[in-house]
Amino acid sequence: MKSNDISHLTAFLIALQKLDHPLPGNIQIQLNEIGKSLQNNPHYIDELNVDTLAESYSPLDEIYQKELEKLDLDIRERSKGFAPEPLPKTPTNELTNAAINTFNSDNSVSAAQENVNPNLLEKIRNYITGKKTNE
Position 4 confidence tier, pLDDT thresholds 50, 70, 90? low
d(CA 46, CA 19): 25
Position 53 confidence tier, pLDDT thresholds 50, 70, 90? very high
d(CA 48, CA 51): 9
> Of 104, 107, 127, which Cα lies nearest the Cα of 10?
127
Task: Judge whether 5 and 46 are in contact, CB under 8 Å.
Answer: yes
pLDDT exceeds 90 at position 91: no
Long-range own/partner contacts, residues 24-27 (CB < 8 A, 24 or more apart): 24/57, 27/53, 27/56, 27/57, 27/60
Q: How large a percentage of the chain has pLDDT more than 90?
A: 45
